[in-house]
Chain A
Amino acid sequence: NAGVTQTPKFRVLKTGQSMTLLCAQDMNHEYMYWYRQDPGMGLRLIHYSVGEGTTAKGEVPDGYNVSRLKKQNFLLGLESAAPSQTSVYFCASSYSDNQPQHFGDGTRLSIL
């Protein structure tokens, strides 16, 4: 049972480049989330999804887009990367809004 898997684990981009982070879960969870974690600031919610085909904005959505075409996958896109988006990105999933969230191990993204 893999749980929540994030791909890739590390990535270095140049300003202006685009990329997609992939999150996959095998627990049949309805809810999925994307967070970023920056030193001293805790985790901040970027976007989330409450089911296949749905997405919604979190606290810091600007500069990111997401898609949930399949229930098990939640993609986070950066269309034009900026140095301010250098961070560790975490994906999480949960069965419902009142059940514990399960996290992946993160993607460390550096933008030069």
Chain B
Amino acid sequence: KQEVTQIPAALSVPEGENLVLNCSFTDSAIYNLQWFRQDPGKGLTSLLLIQSSQREQTSGRLNASLDKSSGRSTLYIAASQPGDSATYLCAVRQYNNNDMRFGAGTRLTVKP
């Protein structure tokens, strides 16, 4: 059974700092991995999707990497801003089925 873990559960950084969020998974037979952000009281917004054949994806100040063999993904946020404050979740989709497993998320606070 796939299990997805995100550490730390919460992170607080000063504005301008570069930071890395971590996601680990137990079964490396994944189809893709997706990073989301969730603002309080809202649904999830997709940030980046990495297919199993890819090593990384970039969008603006965000860069996500994937290492299937070690069961890890990281989300790098450059030059953090207060508007980046949110909960960040990763989710993996398994091969040969549509089972989606989410981590519990990392709550990020960027202080002005």
- Per the CB 8 Å criterion, the residue count for chain B at the interface is 24
Known contacts A42-B4, A42-B89, A43-B89, A102 near B46 by CB under 8 Å? yes
- In the complex, B71 has a CB within 8 A of chain A: no
Q: Do most interface residues of chain B lie in helix, strand or loop, or is the interface mixed? A: strand
Among A98, A100, A104, point to the contact of B31 (Cβ < 8 A): A98
What total of chain A residues lie within 8 Å of the partner, measured CB to CB? 26
Knowing A102-B46, A103-B43, A103-B44, the reply to whether A45 touches B4 (Cβ < 8 A) is no
A-B contact count (CB 8 A): 58
Residues on the A chain within 8 Å of B51, using CB: 98
Picked from B41, B42, B103, the residue with its CB within 8 Å of the CB of A42 is B103
Residues of A within 8 A of B102 (CB): 42-44
Once the chains bind, are A100 and B43 in contact (CB under 8 Å)?
no
Residues of A within 8 A of B (CB): 4, 31, 33, 40-45, 48, 50, 56, 58-59, 90, 92, 97-106
